[in-house]
Amino acid sequence: MDKDHEELETHFDQLLFHIKDNSDLCIKVFSTFKQALQKHFKWEEKVLFPLFEKRAGLPGTDTIFVLKNEHFQITSMFINKIEILLSEKRYNEIIILLVGLEEMLRMHRKLETDIFYPWFDETLDLGEKESILKQLKNRKDN
């Protein structure tokens, strides 16, 4: 999962680089970042969150609620707005939103890497971990 986060950070860094230049390339870079982020969120919500709830025996846990809520906030408060502003080439406003998005993503990743992912490392057996990694690879291939 750290690798997946690192790839998202690379896409985000590329977006920051191109947005500062008001480059038309930033539309393409944003699209790539958005698609990767959506796949990441979907994979967590369809694979990891249900597995966590099932194995922890705690459906609807606070951790899952917070993570899902953050997915929604990241999408609605930042990604959707940035997409609109990009179509209007309102780069200065996008830069402001990117600062907020970067902070939100940082806090989100910290919650996942400090609480959520360690639980998987400690709880799942090798076969379950391999199954999850296979599903992640399949998601990336599609």
What length does the chain have? 142
Q: Examine the pLDDT at 53 and tell me if it is beyond 90.
A: no
pLDDT score recorded for residue 102: 96
| Cα 74 from Cα 83, distance rounded (Å) | 13
Q: Which domain holds residue 68?
A: 2-141
At 99, the pLDDT band (50, 70, 90 cuts) reads very high
Q: Examine the pLDDT at 76 and tell me if it is beyond 80.
A: yes
pLDDT score recorded for residue 24: 78
Average pLDDT over residues 97-122: 91
Among 26, 9, 11, smallest CA distance to 91 is for 26
Q: Examine the pLDDT at 140 and tell me if it is beyond 70.
A: no
Provide the CATH number for the domain around residue 75. Answer: 1.20.120.520
Portion of the chain with pLDDT greater than 90, in percent: 48
Please return the burial class of 102, using the count of CB atoms within 10 Å of its CB with bins 0-12, 13-18 and 19+. middle
> What global pTM score does this model have?
0.87
CB 69 within 8 A of CB 45: no
Q: What is the DSSP letter of 22?
A: T
pLDDT score recorded for residue 35: 95
Could you report the per-residue pLDDT of 6-52, keeping only the tens digit for each?
A: 999 999 999 998 888 877 788 999 999 999 999 999 989 998 888 88
Residue type, 8: L
Q: Examine the pLDDT at 141 and tell me if it is beyond 60.
A: no
Cβ-count burial 13-37 (b if 16+ within 10 Å, e if not): ebbbebbeeeeeebbebbeebbebb
Which range scores top for mean pLDDT: 105-109, 112-116, 136-140?
Answer: 105-109
Please return the burial class of 8, using the count of CB atoms within 10 Å of its CB with bins 0-12, 13-18 and 19+. middle
Residue type, 28: K
Q: Structurally, how many domains does the chain consist of? A: 1
CB 33 within 8 A of CB 101: no
